[in-house]
C-alpha cells in the first residue's frame, strides 16, 4: 500500500507540472476547484477483456490517476458512490467530421463546358480534388450541439477530418468536452484520409471512378518525385503535404467492399496499408476482406424496413436490397467471427440517437458484446495509435468514461453520465426517485378509481383505472416533484380535465379544474409498488435466422461459385472452328481445358453430358463490351492513365444474362469520349467471382482510341470548349501525345542506362505516358473506335509514321471502304452487323461491311457494344450470312475465333481444340438460328449457366423474396417504422457514347434529367 | 469523242442511280397466278402447295391446288421451293419521319407542347427516305408513322413503304391518336447521396384529371358544330369509334388505370401499347377485349430479379392467355428491318412459328384496324406480300427475292446494296 502511494505522489507531481498552467489570462479571481474525484463501487470495464467488480477510479483534472479497489486517496477528493452502476471507457469514432466546415458537393457541370484548371488559389495541386494540405486541426471549430449529440451516445473523443476530395489531408483527435478549440484539440495529424469522391471540386477531371484511382496514383508518384528533387522551378504545397502524409496511418473512405478491394490494390502499389471505412457489406465476400488483414471502420447505419404491402410496388424492390436489409445488421458479427480487426463509427447515421439501439441490433445478430465494446474503445485507439490517450480505463489516460445503469449494451441500460477529460456530462438524470406504482385516488368524476404510474423516472406515464377495468390515458409531465396530468373523461366527451400535484414520498397531493372550470382537490396514495416493467422481463432476443449468402449478391447469384468439372460431352454437332469444320463428335474436358476431340470417347469417372441433337460451340467472345463496369469514360482528350480493370463490377446482372446468351469472354473497353481512352479489361464471365478473378490471367494489354463525332463532341448542343472539336484537331492530339511519349521514353532510357545515378534525378513517372510507351514498344494493343474512311486513313498513316501498330479498328462501319489498306497493315476489323443512320458519321454504314472486309482479307469480328445485343451475338453473326453471304462457319468465327485472335488469345480460346480453354456452349439448335438458345454455358470446365436450372433459380428468387417480404410485413406489424421503398434506377443502356457517371446518369444527360424531374415535382 | 460523251452520260446515269432511291413499284398488270408456293397465310394456317391469284392490286383467289389450270390466259409464276408471306406490318414507328437520328433537322415526329392530338404524321412522311428500302428488304412493307412525346402526341397514319409521295403511299390516314399515359414513378437524382432513385410521381393523379377533362371537353365539343378548337375536335374520331386510341403505358399499374380510363370514356377501340406482365392486367385486357401492342423481344429485363428471358417469353405468355397481341420494334426506326427476327425470337420461347408470324401480320393488322385490307394471304385483301426462299423470321435462312405492295412490285435495291456493289467491284471479290 505504501508503495502504491509513492507512485501516486510521483504521478501527482507530474500532473501538477503539466496541467496547472495555461496561456490564457483570467478576467477576475482565480477559481480553482478540487481536482480529485473518486468513483467507488462500480463495475469497472477497464477494457473489453478486464472487469473489476466494486472497483474504484480516481481522477485528477482531466486524467485517470488510479484504477483498482480500496486504495488510499487524497482527502479533498469528491466521492461518488456508483454502487450498481457500470463504468466504461468513453467511445471513440475514427470517421467523424465533427467541427469541420460543411462540404457542398458540386452539381455536375455541363459536360460540354470543361473546367480544365483548379480554381483554388495558392501554390496547390493542379486538381481541386487533391487537398492533402488540409489539416483538420487548422479548420476545426467547436460545435457544442454536435458534441452533445455524440456525448449522449457515449462518445468522448473523435478523429475528425474534412470529408472532401480524393486526398483529403489529415485528421485531428478532438475532445467532445465543451471548451475552446485549444482545449479540445488533443492531437494533430492523426491520420491521412483518402477517397474516390471528388467532393466539392468544380474541376471536370476526374468524372469517373477509374479517373479517381488514376488521379490518386499519379499524385502519390508526383509527391515522391517532388520530395526527391522534382522540378526546381515548381513549389507545390500539396505535393509536400502528400509526401509527408504517406508516413501517417492512412484511412480510405470507400462505399462498399468493392471499394475496399480497389483501395487495397492502390495501397499495395505504394506500400500503404489502408484502414478501410466500411460500406456495411463486407459479409458478402468476407473471405476476401479477411485476406486484406486491414482494420475496418464499421457502420451501424442499417437499412430501414421497407414498406412492401402493395405487391405491384414491391415487385420493384430488388432481391439485393431485401437481402441487404436482412443481412446488414449481421455484418459486424461477420467481421468479428472472421477475426477481422474493426471499430464502429457513427458517421453514416442520419440520427445519432439511434446508435446504441443499432449496436444492440448488431448484438442480437450475433455480435459479442465485448467485441462491440472493443470496437468502440481499444480497437479504434490502437488502430490510430492513440491508445496512450484514450480507449481504456488506465492510469495516465484521459478521464473519459461512461456511467450506465446496466451493462451498456443492455436494451434497458441508460447512460447516466459521460465524463470527458474529467468533466461531467449528465445524460439521464436519475436523481429523481421513481414514483411508479398503483395509487388510490378520489376524483369527483368517478366513483372508484386508481392511478397506474409506469415509465421512466423523469417521464412517468399515468393511466386512470376506473372500476378496475376501464383505462383512461392521460398526458403527464413531471417537472422535478411537480406533476401535470390532463385527461378526458371518455373518448366521446370534448372537455379536458386538468390536474396538478406535488410528489411527497408515497403520496401525491394536488388540485385540478374540471372541463367546466370548477376547482377540485385530490390526493393519491401509493398502495403497491410497480411490478417489474415489461422491459425488465424482456426475453433475450433470439438470434434471427438469415438467408444464405450468394455470389454475387444479386438475383441469380449462387450459394457457391461454380467449380470446374471433368466433362464428356457426347454426340454433339461440334463447330470446331478448326480444319475439321462442323462435325458430329465427342469432346472431353479435363481440368478446365479441352482434353480431346474425337468420336466415341469413353473416359471413366467423368460427368457425361448427352448432347445428341444439340450443337456444341466455343463460348462467344465479345470484342467490344461495356458491361460489368462502374464507369466508362474519362474526360481528358488523352486519358490513357485510366484502367477499366479498376472499375469492374462483378455484381452486374448483365454478366449472367450474357452467359444465358452463350458469351464467355468480353473485352471491357473505355468509351469513346476521348481520343486516347483508358486501358481495357479482358474478362471471363465467371459469375460470382471477385473483380480480380474475372480478369483473364496474363491477359494481353489493350487500350481504347477513338475518332470522329464523339471525341470532337460533334453532337453537343453548343460548341464545346475541349480540344479537339474537328477531325483536324484529332490528328494533332495523337501526334502530340506520341511526341511527348517518345521524349518521355528517351528521358527514362537515358536515366536507366546511366551507370552512375548520383546527382541524376529520376524523371517523373507519368501514368498517361507509360501506357503510350507500352504502345510504342509493342506491348499494348490499340482498339480504335472509328467510322469514316478519312479518319481511319489518317490514323493508319499516323501510326506508320510514328512507328506503332493499330491492332483493331472497332465499329469500323466504313471498313468496306478501306479494307485494302487494313489488309496491307494486318489490322483487324470489329464491327456491328447492321447498325447505321443513328448519326451523321454512320450514314454510309452498310450491313455488308463484315462480309466485304472478310472477303477482302481482313479478319473481322462482330461485336455488341451493348448489353442487350451481347446476349444474342449469335444472331448478329448470322446476319453476315444474310448480308454478304459468308458461310456459316465464317459467320460463326466472327464471334468466336476471330475476336480471340484479335485479342491475342487465339492460342488459348476461340476453337474446339485439345489444349484450349474449355469455354463451351451447348445450343438447342444451329447457333446461327433465331430459334437457338444456349442450354449450358461452360467456362474452363465449370457450368455457369444451365437452362435446366433456370426455372429452379427463378423459383428460388421468388421464394427468397417472398420470405423477406413476409419478414418485412411482420416487422411493420410489430410497429417498426418502415420506409417507402427507394427503388434503384436501372442503369441506362450503356454504349461507348455514354459518359456514364453518378450511378448511371450520363453527365451529358444530367441537366435534362434533372429538369425533367423538377417538372414532375 | 462520241465514246467520251457516252462515257460521261453513263457516269452521270450512274451517279443519278446512286443518289436516288429505287423506282416506285409498278402495278402488275392483268391476272397473275403464283403457283407451287408454300403459302404462310398469316392467320396460323399454311398451304404447302399453294396458289395465289392477284389482279388489280388485290388477291382474288388462294388455294392449296394449282390455280393456273383455272386461269389459262393469265401470267403464271412457278414458285417451286419458295414461300409467300404476307407483308409485315410495323406499328408504332418513326420510319419516314426522320432520316438521321442524331440530326434534329431530319426529325419530324415530336411537336412541342403536351396536347397535340391535332398534329398528323401523314403529311411529314417522307417516301424518299433512304432508310425505307433497307427496311423493305426484309419483308416489312407497311409502317405506322407514329408521333411521339407529350401527353397526346398526335395522330398516326398507316403507310405503304412504297409511293411517289405520302398521298400515294397512305394506306389509312389518321388511324388513331397516341396518348402517353403518365408514369406513376419517375427518376430523380438525390443530391445528398448523388444517386439516382425512382420516386413516386406526385402529380400523377392531377395529370390523369387533366387528361379526363380534355376528353370530357372533347366529347362536349363534338356535339357542337359551331365550336372551333383544333385540339379538341381532333378526338372526334376516337370518340365516335372511327379511329383508335393508343395508350402507351410504362408498367402494369399504369395499364390498370389506362384500361379503366378507356372504359369510363367509352373508347370503342383502345389499344394498350407497352409490356404488361401481371395477371391482373392480362385479365382486365381480356375482360374488356382490349388488344396489346408489345415492344420487341430484344429488350433486357426490367429488373435484375426478372426472368433473364422475360422479354422473349412475353408474347407466348400473353397469347396463351387469349389476348390479341401485336408487336412493334421499339428501338430505332432504321433497325425496324429486324422486326421479323424479333418476332421469330419469340418462337424459340413458347410461340409456334405461325403464331410469331401472325403477331406481326394479321394481329398487327387487326389492332391497327386494317385487317380488311392486309395482314393475310386471303382473297379480297391487297396484294401485299413477299416471296422468300427461306424462313423470313430467321435471319439464317431468310432470303427475300420479290416484294409486292398493293399489287405493285417494288424493287429490293437500296443505297446500302449499291455501296456494297461499288466496293465489291473495287476489290474484285466475289459477291
Which of A663, A690, A706 is where one domain is finished? Answer: A706
Residue A107 binned pLDDT confidence (cut-offs 50, 70, 90):
low
With a CB cutoff of 8 Å and minimum separation 6, the contacts of A859 are: A828, A829, A898, A901, A902
pLDDT of residue A224: 96
pLDDT at A10 over 50: no
User: Phi first, then psi: what are they for A497, rounded to 5°?
Assistant: -100, 135
Q: Is residue A828 part of a domain?
A: no
Q: Mean pLDDT, to the nearest integer, of A451-468?
A: 86
Q: Mean pLDDT, to the nearest integer, of A746-765?
A: 93
What residues of B are in contact with residue A879 (Cβ under 8 Å)? Answer: 395
How many angstroms separate the most distant Cα atoms in chain A? Answer: 110
Q: Is residue A160 part of a domain?
A: yes
Whether residue B109 contacts residue B97, with contact meaning beta carbons closer than 8 Å, is answered with: yes
Give tens-digit pLDDT for A842-886: 999 999 999 999 999 999 999 999 999 999 999 999 999 999 999
Q: Is residue A213 part of a domain?
A: yes
**C-alpha closest to that of A620 among A425, A450, A871, A429:** A871
Minimal C-alpha gap between B424 and chain A (Å): 7
Question: How far from each other are the two terminal CA atoms of chain B, in whole angstroms?
Answer: 34
Minimal C-alpha gap between B153 and chain A (Å): 17
pLDDT at A19 over 60: no
Q: Least CB-CB distance to A985: which of B196, B305, B430?
A: B196
What residues of A are in contact with residue B302 (Cβ under 8 Å)? Answer: 986
What is the residue-wise DSSP string for A662-711?
TEEEEEE---SSSSEEEE-EEEE--TTS-HHHHBPTTPPPEEEEE-TTTT
| d(C-alpha A395, C-alpha A413), whole Å | 27
Tell whether omega for the bond before A552 is within 30 degrees of 0, i.e. cis. Answer: yes
The sign one gets for the Cα dihedral A65, A67, A73, A76 is: positive
Tell whether omega for the bond before B227 is within 30 degrees of 0, i.e. cis. Answer: no
Eight-state DSSP code of residue B87: P
Contact A980 B309 (CB under 8 A): no
Beta-sheet strands, E only, within A13-126: 36-45, 51-60, 63-68, 78-81, 86-89, 91-96
- Find the CATH number of the domain harbouring A187: 3.20.20.140
Contact A657 B348 (CB under 8 A): no
Interface of A with B in 791-820 (CB under 8 A): 816-817, 819-820
**C-alpha closest to that of A168 among A78, A242, A86, A244:** A242
pLDDT of residue B196: 63
Interface of B with A in 315-354 (CB under 8 A): 332-335, 337-338, 341, 344-345, 347-349
pLDDT of residue A1008: 45
* Burial (Cβ within 10 Å: 0-12, 13-18, ≥19) of residue A244: middle
Q: Is residue A998 part of a domain?
A: no
pLDDT at A513 over 50: yes
- CB of B425 within 8 Å of any CB in chain A? no
Q: Mean pLDDT, to the nearest integer, of A17-33?
A: 73
Mutate to test the interface with B, among A931, A933, A988 (most CBs of B within 10 A): A931
pLDDT of residue A1009: 42
Whether residue A399 contacts residue A419, with contact meaning beta carbons closer than 8 Å, is answered with: yes
Q: Mean pLDDT, to the nearest integer, of A325-342?
A: 97
Interface of B with A in 268-287 (CB under 8 A): 278
pLDDT at B112 over 90: yes
pLDDT of residue A759: 85
pLDDT of residue A896: 98
Grid cell locating A884: 454478304
Q: Least CB-CB distance to A819: which of B203, B427, B431?
A: B427
pLDDT of residue A518: 86
**C-alpha closest to that of A666 among A647, A689, A682, A643:** A682
Minimal C-alpha gap between B41 and chain A (Å): 21
Interface of A with B in 93-132 (CB under 8 A): 105, 107
pLDDT of residue B134: 97
Q: Is residue A877 part of a domain?
A: no
Beta-strand relationship, A155-160 and A91-96: parallel
Residue B24 binned pLDDT confidence (cut-offs 50, 70, 90):
very high
What residues of A are in contact with residue B417 (Cβ under 8 Å)? Answer: 846, 848
Could you list the residue range(s) of the whole structural domain that residue A126 is in? Answer: 91-426
Contact B420 A816 (CB under 8 A): yes
Same domain? A403 vs A445: no
3-class DSSP state of A1004: helix
Contact B201 A848 (CB under 8 A): no
pLDDT at B1 over 50: no
**C-alpha closest to that of A452 among A461, A478, A505, A444:** A461
Q: Least CB-CB distance to B100: which of A837, A931, A950?
A: A837
Q: Which range (A26-40, A402-416, A631-645) has the least confidence? A: A26-40
pLDDT of residue B361: 98
* Burial (Cβ within 10 Å: 0-12, 13-18, ≥19) of residue B195: middle
pLDDT of residue A109: 58
Contact B299 A819 (CB under 8 A): no
Same domain? A338 vs A468: no
Contact A838 B419 (CB under 8 A): no
Look over chain A and give the mean of its residue pLDDT values, rounded to a whole number. Answer: 91
pLDDT at B231 over 60: yes
pLDDT at B203 over 70: yes
Q: Is residue A974 part of a domain?
A: no
Strand-pair partners of A455: A460
User: Phi first, then psi: what are they for A528, rounded to 5°?
Assistant: -150, 150
| d(C-alpha A503, C-alpha A505), whole Å | 6
Q: Which range (A12-16, A737-741, B166-170, B398-402) has the least confidence? A: A12-16
Q: Least CB-CB distance to B394: which of A319, A931, A1000?
A: A931
Q: Is residue A42 part of a domain?
A: no
CATH numbers and ranges of domains, chain B: 2-85+415-427 (2.30.40), 88-374 (3.20.20.140)
Mutate to test the interface with B, among A661, A924, A930 (most CBs of B within 10 A): A930
Contact A316 B347 (CB under 8 A): no
pLDDT at A1002 over 60: no
| d(C-alpha A484, C-alpha B174), whole Å | 76
Same domain? A283 vs A405: yes
pLDDT of residue B332: 86
Whether residue A497 contacts residue A487, with contact meaning beta carbons closer than 8 Å, is answered with: yes
* C-alpha distance from residue A98 to each of A148, A198, A390, A475, A757 (Å): 11, 20, 18, 37, 48
Q: Which helix (H) or strand (E) holds A286?
A: helix A286-292
Grid cell locating A731: 490528328
Q: Mean pLDDT, to the nearest integer, of B283-297?
A: 97
- What residue in B sits closest to A928 (Cα-Cα)? B396
Same domain? A377 vs A479: no
What is the residue-wise DSSP string for A544-605?
PP-PPP-BSSSTT-BSS------EEEEEEEEE-SSTT-EEEEEEEEETTEEEEEETT---TT
pLDDT of residue A1006: 44
Contact A881 B396 (CB under 8 A): yes
pLDDT of residue A539: 54
- What residue in B sits closest to A657 (Cα-Cα)? B308
3-class DSSP state of A648: strand
Look over chain B and give the mean of its residue pLDDT values, rounded to a whole number. Answer: 92
Same domain? A639 vs A685: yes
Tally the domains of chain A.
3
Residue B193 binned pLDDT confidence (cut-offs 50, 70, 90):
low
Which of A675, A706, A737 is where one domain is finished? Answer: A706
pLDDT of residue A893: 98
Q: Is residue A503 part of a domain?
A: yes
| d(C-alpha A589, C-alpha A592), whole Å | 6
Contact A1000 B202 (CB under 8 A): no
Q: Which pairs from A739-746 meet CB under 8 Å and 24+ separation? A: A740/A769, A740/A772, A741/A769, A741/A772, A741/A773, A741/A775, A741/A776, A742/A776, A742/A802, A744/A769, A744/A772, A744/A773, A745/A769, A745/A773, A745/A776
Specify the length of chain B in residues: 431
Same domain? A520 vs A413: no
Which of A387, A406, A426 is where one domain is finished? Answer: A426
Same domain? A111 vs A251: yes
Grid cell locating B138: 426484309
Interface of A with B in 479-518 (CB under 8 A): none
- Of A284-288, A718-722, B69-73, B199-203, where does the model show the most confidence? A284-288
- What residue in A sits closest to B190 (Cα-Cα)? A1010
Whether residue A554 contacts residue A320, with contact meaning beta carbons closer than 8 Å, is answered with: yes
Letter string b/e over residues A403-418, b meaning 16 or more CB atoms within 10 A of that residue's CB: bbbeebbbeebbbbbb
Sheet containing A620-625: which strands, arranged edge to edge? Answer: A620-625, A663-668, A681-684
Grid cell locating B284: 382486365
3-class DSSP state of A22: coil
Whether residue B385 contacts residue B68, with contact meaning beta carbons closer than 8 Å, is answered with: no
Q: Mean pLDDT, to the nearest integer, of A211-226?
A: 97
- Find the CATH number of the domain harbouring A506: 2.40.128.20
Same domain? A637 vs A680: yes
Same domain? A422 vs A450: no
Q: Which range (A440-449, A852-861, B408-417) has the least confidence? A: A440-449
Among residues of chain A, what percentage have pLDDT more than 90? 74
Whether residue A891 contacts residue A881, with contact meaning beta carbons closer than 8 Å, is answered with: yes
The sign one gets for the Cα dihedral A947, A951, A952, A958 is: positive
| d(C-alpha B69, C-alpha A702), whole Å | 67
A815-825 vs A789-802: helix crossing angle, rounded to 10 = 20
What residues of A are in contact with residue B350 (Cβ under 8 Å)? Answer: none
Minimal C-alpha gap between B415 and chain A (Å): 9
Grid cell locating B171: 394506306
What is the residue-wise DSSP string for A152-165?
HTTEEEEEE----S
What is the residue-wise DSSP string for A179-222?
S-HHHHEEES---EEEES--TT--S----SHHHHHHHHHHHHHH
Among residues of chain A, what percentage have pLDDT more than 70? 92
The sign one gets for the Cα dihedral A894, A899, A901, A902 is: positive
- CB of A708 within 8 Å of any CB in chain B? no
Grid cell locating A90: 468513453
Specify the length of chain A in residues: 1017
Same domain? A188 vs A213: yes
Contact A931 B186 (CB under 8 A): no
pLDDT at A2 over 70: no
- Of A41-55, A448-462, A507-521, where does the model show the most confidence? A41-55
Contact A848 B300 (CB under 8 A): no
pLDDT of residue A110: 65
Three-class SS string for A920-937?
EEEECCCCCCCCCCEEEE
HSE-up (13 A, CA, CB side) for residue A506: 10
pLDDT at A1013 over 60: no
Same domain? A447 vs A328: no
Q: Mean pLDDT, to the nearest integer, of B143-166?
A: 97
Q: Least CB-CB distance to B305: which of A319, A869, A928?
A: A319
**C-alpha closest to that of A573 among A926, A928, A876, A915:** A926
- CB of A835 within 8 Å of any CB in chain B? yes
Minimal C-alpha gap between B226 and chain A (Å): 36
Grid cell locating B290: 382490349
Interface of B with A in 95-154 (CB under 8 A): 99-103, 131
Same domain? A137 vs A207: yes
Q: Which range (A446-460, A625-639, A826-840, A941-955) has the least confidence? A: A446-460
- What residue in A sits closest to B277 (Cα-Cα)? A312
Amino acid at each position: 500500500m505504501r508503495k502504491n502511494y509513492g507512485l501516486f505522489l510521483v504521478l501527482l507531481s507530474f500532473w501538477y507540472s503539466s496541467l496547472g498552467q495555461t496561456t490564457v489570462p483570467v478576467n477576475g479571481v482565480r477559481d480553482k476547484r478540487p481536482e480529485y474525484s473518486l468513483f467507488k463501487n462500480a463495475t469497472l470495464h477497464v477494457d473489453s477483456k478486464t472487469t473489476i467488480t466494486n472497483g474504484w477510479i480516481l481522477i485528477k483534472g482531466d486524467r485517470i490517476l488510479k484504477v483498482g479497489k480500496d486504495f488510499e486517496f487524497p482527502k479533498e477528493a469528491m466521492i461518488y458512490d456508483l454502487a450498481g452502476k457500470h463504468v466504461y471507457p468513453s467511445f471513440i469514432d475514427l470517421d467523424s467530421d465533427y467541427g469541420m466546415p460543411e462540404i457542398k458537393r458540386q452539381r455536375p457541370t455541363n459536360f460540354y463546358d470543361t473546367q480544365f484548371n483548379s480554381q483554388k488559389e495558392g501554390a496547390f495541386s493542379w486538381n481541386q480534388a487533391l487537398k492533402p494540405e488540409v489539416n483538420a486541426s487548422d479548420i476545426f471549430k467547436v460545435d457544442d450541439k454536435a458534441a452533445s449529440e455524440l456525448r449522449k451516445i457515449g462518445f468522448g473523443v473523435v478523429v475528425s477530418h474534412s470529408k472532401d476530395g480524393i486526398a483529403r489531408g489529415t485528421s485531428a483527435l478532438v475532445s467532445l468536452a465543451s471548451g475552446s478549440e485549444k482545449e479540445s484539440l488533443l492531437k494533430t495529424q492523426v491520420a491521412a484520409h483518402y477517397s474516390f469522391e471528388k467532393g466539392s471540386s468544380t474541376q471536370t477531371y476526374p468524372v469517373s471512378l477509374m479517373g479517381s484511382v488514376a488521379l490518386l496514383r499519379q499524385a502519390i508518384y508526383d509527391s515522391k518525385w517532388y520530395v526527391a528533387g522534382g522540378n526546381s522551378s515548381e513549389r507545390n504545397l500539396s505535393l509536400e503535404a502528400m509526401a509527408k502524409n504517406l508516413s501517417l496511418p492512412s484511412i480510405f473512405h470507400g462505399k462498399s467492399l468493392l471499394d475496399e478491394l480497389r483501395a487495397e490494390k492502390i495501397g499495395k502499389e505504394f506500400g500503404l496499408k489502408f484502414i478501410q471505412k466500411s460500406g456495411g457489406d463486407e459479409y458478402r465476400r468476407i473471405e476476401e476482406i479477411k485476406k486484406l488483414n486491414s482494420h475496418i471502420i464499421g457502420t451501424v447505419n442499417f437499412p430501414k424496413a421497407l414498406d412492401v404491402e402493395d405487391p405491384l410496388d414491391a415487385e420493384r424492390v430488388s432481391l439485393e436490397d431485401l437481402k441487404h436489409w436482412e443481412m446488414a445488421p449481421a455484418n459486424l458479427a461477420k467481421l468479428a467471427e472472421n477475426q477481422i480487426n474493426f471499430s464502429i463509427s457513427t458517421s453514416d447515421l442520419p440520427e445519432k440517437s439511434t446508435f446504441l439501439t443499432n449496436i444492440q441490433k448488431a448484438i442480437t445478430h450475433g455480435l459479442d458484446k465485448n467485441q462491440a465494446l472493443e470496437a468502440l474503445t481499444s480497437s479504434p485507439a490502437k488502430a490510430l495509435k492513440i491508445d496512450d490517450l484514450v480507449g481504456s480505463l488506465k492510469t495516465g489516460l484521459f478521464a473519459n468514461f461512461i456511467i450506465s445503469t446496466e451493462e451498456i449494451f443492455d436494451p434497458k441500460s441508460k447512460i447516466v453520465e459521460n465524463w470527458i477529460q474529467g468533466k461531467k456530462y449528465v445524460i439521464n438524470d436519475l436523481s429523481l426517485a421513481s414514483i411508479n406504482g398503483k395509487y388510490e385516488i378520489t376524483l369527483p368524476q368517478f366513483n372508484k378509481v386508481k392511478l397506474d404510474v409506469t415509465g421512466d423516472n423523469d417521464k412517468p406515464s399515468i393511466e386512470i383505472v376506473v372500476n378496475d377495468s376501464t383505462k383512461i390515458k392521460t398526458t403527464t409531465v413531471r417537472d422535478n416533484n411537480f406533476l401535470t396530468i390532463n385527461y378526458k373523461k371518455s373518448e366521446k366527451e370534448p372537455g379536458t380535465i386538468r390536474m396538478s400535484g406535488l410528489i411527497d414520498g408515497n403520496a401525491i397531493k394536488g388540485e385540478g379544474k374540471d372541463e367546466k372550470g370548477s376547482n377540485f382537490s385530490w390526493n393519491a396514495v401509493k398502495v403497491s409498488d410497480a411490478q417489474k416493467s415489461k422491459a425488465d422481463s424482456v426475453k433475450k432476443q433470439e438470434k434471427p435466422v438469415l438467408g444464405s449468402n450468394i455470389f454475387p449478391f444479386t438475383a441469380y447469384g449462387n450459394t457457391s461459385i461454380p467449380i470446374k468439372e471433368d466433362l464428356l460431352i457426347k454426340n454433339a454437332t461440334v463447330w470446331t472452328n478448326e480444319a475439321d469444320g462442323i462435325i458430329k463428335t465427342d469432346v472431353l474436358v479435363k481440368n478446365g481445358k479441352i482434353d480431346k476431340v474425337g468420336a466415341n470417347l469413353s473416359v471413366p469417372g467423368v460427368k457425361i453430358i448427352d448432347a445428341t441433337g444439340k450443337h456444341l460451340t466455343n463460348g462467344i467472345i465479345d470484342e467490344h463490351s461495356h458491361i460489368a463496369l462502374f464507369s466508362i469514360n474519362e474526360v481528358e482528350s488523352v486519358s490513357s492513365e485510366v484502367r477499366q480493370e479498376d472499375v469492374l463490377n462483378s455484381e452486374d446482372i448483365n454478366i449472367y444474362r450474357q452467359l444465358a446468351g452463350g458469351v464467355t469472354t468480353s473485352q471491357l473497353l473505355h468509351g469513346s469520349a476521348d481520343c486516347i481512352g483508358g486501358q481495357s479489361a479482358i474478362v471471363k464471365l465467371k459469375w460470382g467471382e471477385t473483380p480480380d478473378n474475372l480478369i483473364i490471367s496474363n491477359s494481353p494489354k489493350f487500350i481504347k482510341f477513338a475518332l470522329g463525332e464523339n471525341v470532337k463532341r460533334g453532337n453537343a448542343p453548343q460548341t464545346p470548349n475541349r480540344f479537339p472539336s474537328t477531325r483536324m484537331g484529332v490528328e494533332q492530339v495523337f501526334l502530340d501525345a506520341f511526341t511527348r511519349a517518345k521524349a518521355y521514353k528517351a528521358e527514362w532510357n537515358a536515366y536507366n542506362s546511366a551507370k552512375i545515378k548520383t546527382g541524376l534525378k529520376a524523371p517523373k513517372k507519368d501514368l498517361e505516358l507509360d501506357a503510350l510507351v507500352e504502345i510504342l514498344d509493342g506491348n499494348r494493343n490499340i482498339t480504335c473506335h472509328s467510322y469514316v474512311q478519312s479518319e481511319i486513313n489518317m490514323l493508319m498513316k499516323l501510326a506508320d509514321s510514328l512507328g506503332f501498330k493499330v491492332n483493331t479498328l472497332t465499329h469500323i462501319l466504313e471498313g468496306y471502304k478501306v479494307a485494302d489498306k487494313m489488309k496491307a497493315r494486318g489490322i483487324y476489323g470489329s464491327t456491328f452487323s447492321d447498325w447505321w443512320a443513328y448519326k451523321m458519321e454512320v450514314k454510309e454504314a452498310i450491313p455488308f461491311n463484315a462480309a466485304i472486309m472478310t472477303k477482302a482479307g481482313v479478319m473481322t469480328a462482330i461485336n455488341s457494344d451493348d448489353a442487350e445485343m451481347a446476349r444474342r451475338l449469335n444472331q448478329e453473326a448470322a446476319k453476315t450470312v444474310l448480308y454478304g453471304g459468308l458461310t456459316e462457319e465464317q459467320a460463326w468465327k466472327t464471334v468466336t475465333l476471330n475476336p480471340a485472335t484479335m485479342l491475342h488469345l487465339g492460342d488459348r480460346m476461340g476453337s474446339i481444340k485439345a489444349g484450349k480453354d474449355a469455354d463451351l456452349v451447348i445450343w438447342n439448335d444451329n447457333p446461327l438460328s433465331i430459334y437457338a438458345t444456349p442450354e449450358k454455358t461452360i467456362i474452363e470446365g465449370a457450368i455457369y449457366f444451365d437452362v435446366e436450372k433456370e426455372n429452379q433459380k427463378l423459383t428460388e428468387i421468388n421464394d427468397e423474396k417472398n420470405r423477406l417480404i413476409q419478414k418485412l410485413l411482420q416487422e411493420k406489424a410489430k410497429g417498426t417504422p418502415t420506409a417507402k421503398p427507394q427503388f434503384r434506377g436501372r442503369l441506362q443502356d450503356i454504349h461507348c457514347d455514354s459518359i456514364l457517371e453518378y450511378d448511371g446518369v450520363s453527365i451529358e444527360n444530367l441537366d435534362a434529367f434533372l429538369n425533367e424531374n423538377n417538372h414532375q415535382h | 469523242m462520241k465514246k467520251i460523251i457516252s462515257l460521261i452520260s453513263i457516269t452521270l446515269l450512274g451517279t443519278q442511280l446512286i443518289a436516288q432511291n429505287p423506282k416506285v413499284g409498278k402495278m402488275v398488270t392483268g391476272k397473275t397466278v403464283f403457283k407451287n408456293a408454300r403459302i404462310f397465310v398469316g392467320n396460323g394456317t399454311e398451304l404447302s402447295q399453294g396458289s395465289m391469284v392477284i389482279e388489280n392490286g388485290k388477291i382474288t383467289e388462294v388455294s392449296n391446288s394449282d390455280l393456273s389450270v383455272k386461269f389459262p390466259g393469265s401470267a403464271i409464276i412457278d414458285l417451286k421451293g419458295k414461300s409467300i408471306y404476307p407483308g409485315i406490318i410495323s406499328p408504332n414507328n418513326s420510319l419516314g419521319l426522320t432520316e438521321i437520328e442524331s440530326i434534329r433537322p431530319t426529325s419530324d415526329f415530336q411537336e412541342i407542347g403536351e396536347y397535340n392530338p391535332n398534329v398528323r404524321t401523314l403529311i411529314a412522311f417522307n417516301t424518299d427516305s433512304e432508310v425505307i428500302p433497307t427496311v423493305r428488304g426484309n419483308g416489312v412493307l407497311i409502317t405506322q408513322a407514329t408521333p411521339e412525346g407529350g401527353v397526346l402526341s398526335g395522330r398516326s397514319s398507316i403507310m405503304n413503304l412504297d409511293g411517289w409521295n405520302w398521298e400515294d403511299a397512305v394506306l389509312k390516314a389518321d388511324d388513331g391518336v397516341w396518348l402517353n399515359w403518365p408514369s406513376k414513378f419517375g427518376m430523380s437524382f438525390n443530391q445528398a447521396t448523388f444517386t439516382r432513385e425512382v420516386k413516386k410521381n406526385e402529380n400523377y393523379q392531377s395529370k390523369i384529371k387533366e387528361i379526363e377533362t380534355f376528353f370530357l371537353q372533347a366529347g362536349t365539343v363534338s356535339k357542337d358544330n359551331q365550336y372551333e378548337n383544333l385540339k379538341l375536335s381532333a378526338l372526334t374520331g376516337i370518340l365516335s369509334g372511327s379511329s383508335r386510341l393508343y395508350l402507351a403505358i410504362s408498367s402494369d399499374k399504369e395499364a390498370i388505370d389506362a384500361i379503366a380510363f378507356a372504359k369510363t370514356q367509352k373508347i370503342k377501340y383502345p389499344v394498350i401499347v407497352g409490356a404488361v406482365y401481371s395477371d391482373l392486367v392480362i385479365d382486365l385486357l381480356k375482360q374488356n377485349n382490349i388488344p396489346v401492342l408489345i415492344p420487341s423481344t430484344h429488350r433486357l429485363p426490367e429488373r435484375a430479379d426478372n426472368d433473364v428471358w422475360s422479354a422473349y417469353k412475353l408474347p407466348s405468355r400473353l397469347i396463351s392467355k387469349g389476348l390479341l397481341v401485336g408487336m412493334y420494334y421499339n428501338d430505332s426506326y432504321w433497325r425496324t428491318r429486324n422486326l421479323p427476327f424479333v418476332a421469330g425470337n419469340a418462337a424459340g420461347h413458347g410461340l409456334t412459328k405461325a403464331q410469331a408470324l401472325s403477331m406481326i401480320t394479321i394481329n398487327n393488322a387487326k389492332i391497327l384496324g386494317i385487317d380488311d385490307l392486309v395482314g393475310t394471304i386471303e382473297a379480297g385483301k391487297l396484294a401485299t406480300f413477299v416471296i422468300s426462299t427461306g424462313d423470313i423470321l430467321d435471319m439464317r435462312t431468310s432470303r427475300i427475292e420479290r416484294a409486292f405492295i398493293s399489287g405493285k412490285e417494288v424493287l429490293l435495291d437500296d443505297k446500302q446494296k449499291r455501296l456494297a456493289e461499288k466496293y465489291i467491284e473495287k476489290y474484285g471479290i466475289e459477291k
